[in-house]
Amino acid sequence: MNESRGLSVLAIGLSVLIVTVAAPAAAQRAYEPLLDHFSLRLEGSFVALSTQLGLVPQGGGTTPVLNFEEDLDLDGSKVVPTLAFDWQIARRHKLGVRWQDIDRDSATQALTDIEWAGEIIPVEADVLLAFEISQIFVDYAYFPWMHERWAAGFGLGFRIMEITTVLSWESANGEHEGSTDVTGTGPLPYLYLEYRRLFADDWRLIAGLGWLSLDFGDIDGSQWVGRAGVEYLLGQHWGLGAAVNLSNVDVDWEDLDSEVGVERYTGVVVMDINDVSLFVRGRF
């Protein structure tokens, strides 16, 4: 997966380069408070997830897609911290980054035979699952429509996602046991739209939407992301608000790594990752 990691770094580097080249020597603050020159945001996010994953061994074949929440009792919600920043380095150019790490695990008993990664997990086997998602959203937006009370722009975004899955099982008599682990990292690009609106001098709305379907590197499929937040501005340097963030991924992900074994897999990945967040923003 070194190629995928290299593409992830390249995605961030290109976004930073775009806004840096486009910026004047000294950024002007005429766009505040509709836009911030630079801001840091700390969020408390209540995340709701739906995770469907199937693994096809490198040699081919078919495998059912498991719903981790329904089939393996993985918790479908969690409260996690989220970090983000926005950089409005020029009046019409903005870079935004948002990071989340969500790890969950479960222990359950198979109620029926389960086919997984070309193997059969027998009924009544004890099943342990650990599943982690780390995702970074990198959005660049250019604002051709800039007014005193509202602004609208478009650009390009990347969701740089890393998934790690470890699933092990053992039958009650010890005759059947096994384990699989897979890790995948890659950038998922999308076209991005952003809209901002000042309702009053102290209240603003920020909304964004991204979507794209394509074959990019090891990943073939589609995704979309959406977000909307309302914020109250406390003077020049602070803000408090709430936001809703919605996202979906539906892809075939080739060449997933296995740390324990030599096997490589193609993953069928269908995920909804949605959250409601309360946040505090520092504005600089």
Q: What is the pLDDT of residues 142-171, one digit of tens each?
A: 999 999 999 999 999 999 999 999 999 998
Residue 28 has pLDDT above 90, yes or no: no
Note the pLDDT of residue 89.
Answer: 84
3 torsion bin: left (phi>0), alpha (psi -120 to 50), beta (else) = alpha
pLDDT confidence of residue 173: 77
Checking DSSP bridges between strand 265-283 and strand 38-57, what pairing results, if any?
antiparallel
**pLDDT value of position 85:** 96
Structure tokens at 162: 């890393």
Structural domains of the chain, ranges and CATH numbers in brackets:
2-22+34-283 (2.40.128)
Please state the rounded mean pLDDT for residues 98-115: 94
Q: Which of 274, 282, 251 is nearest to 78 (CA)?
A: 274
Q: Is 222 left (phi over 0), alpha (psi -120 to 50) or beta?
A: beta
pLDDT tens digits for range 218-254: 889 999 999 999 999 998 999 999 999 999 999 998 8
Higher pLDDT, 57 or 78: 78
Higher pLDDT, 277 or 261: 277
- Tell me the CA distances in angstroms from 237 to 61, 63, 278, 279, one per residue in order: 57, 53, 17, 14
**Residue 1 pLDDT more than 60?**
no
